[in-house]
Amino acid sequence: MQVTLQVRRFNPEAPRAQPYEQEFTLDVPGYFTVLDTLIKVREEMDPTLTLRCSCRASICGSCAMRVNGHAKLVCKTKLTSVMDAQGKVRVAPVGNMPVVKDLVVDMKPFWDKVRGVDPWLQPQGPEPKDEYLAPNEAMVHLTGVMMCIMCGACVSDCTVLEVDSNFLGPAALAKAYRFVGDPRDGAAKGRLGKLSEYGGIWDCTRCYECVQVCPKGVAPMERIMALRDKAIVAGFDKAIGARHTIAFGEIVGHSGRLDELRLVPKTFGMFNPLHLPNLLGMIPVGLRALRRRKLPPIRHKSIPGVENVRRIFKKVEAGQ
Ligand code: SF4
Ligand code: SF4
Neighbours of 277 (CB within 10 A): 9
Q: Which atom of ligand 1 is nearest to the CA of 170?
A: 3
* Nearest one of 3, 65, 77 to 40, comparing CA atoms: 3
Ligand whose nearest atom lies closest to the CA of 94: 2
Mean pLDDT for the stretch of residues 133-160: 95
- Distances in Å between the alpha carbon of 26 and those of 5, 42, 102? 8, 12, 19
- DSSP letters for 48-86: T-----S-SSSSS-TTEEEETTEEEEGGG-BGGGT--TT
Site to probe by mutation for ligand 2, drawn from 60, 208, 209, 218 as the one with most ligand atoms within 8 Å of Cβ, is: 218
| pLDDT value of residue 19 | 96
Percent of the chain with pLDDT over 90: 80
| pLDDT value of residue 14 | 84
Q: Using the predicted structure, report yes or no on whether residue 34 has a pLDDT greater than 80.
A: yes
Mean pLDDT of the chain: 94
Q: Using the predicted structure, report yes or no on whether residue 272 has a pLDDT greater than 80.
A: no
Ligand 2 centroid distance, CA of 134 (Å): 25
Ligand 2 centroid distance, CA of 219 (Å): 8
Quickly state the pLDDT bin for 276 (edges 50, 70, 90).
confident
| pLDDT value of residue 281 | 84
Sign of CA dihedral 178, 181, 182, 186: positive
Whole-angstrom Cα distance, residue 77 to residue 239?
40
Neighbours of 79 (CB within 10 A): 23
Tell me if 150 sits within 8 A of 87, measured CB to CB.
no
**Residues within 6 Å of ligand 2 by CB:** 148-154, 170-171, 174, 214, 216, 218, 220
Mean pLDDT for the stretch of residues 258-281: 83
Q: Using the predicted structure, report yes or no on whether residue 301 has a pLDDT greater than 80.
A: yes
- Tens of pLDDT, residues 82-137: 999 999 999 999 999 999 999 999 999 999 999 999 999 998 888 888 888 889 99
Residues 6+ apart with CB under 8 A from 10: 17, 18, 19, 20, 93, 99, 101, 102
Residue 151 in 3-state DSSP? coil
The domains found in the chain, sorted by start residue, are 2-105 (3.10.20.30), 108-233 (1.10.1060.10), 240-317 (no CATH)
- DSSP letters for 214-234: -TT---HHHHHHHHHHHHHHT
- Tens of pLDDT, residues 43-96: 999 999 999 999 999 999 999 999 999 999 999 999 999 999 999 999 999 999
- Distances in Å between the alpha carbon of 212 and those of 23, 26, 60, 177, 206? 28, 30, 19, 19, 12
Residues 6+ apart with CB under 8 A from 104: 50, 51, 52, 93
Ligand 2 centroid distance, CA of 151 (Å): 5
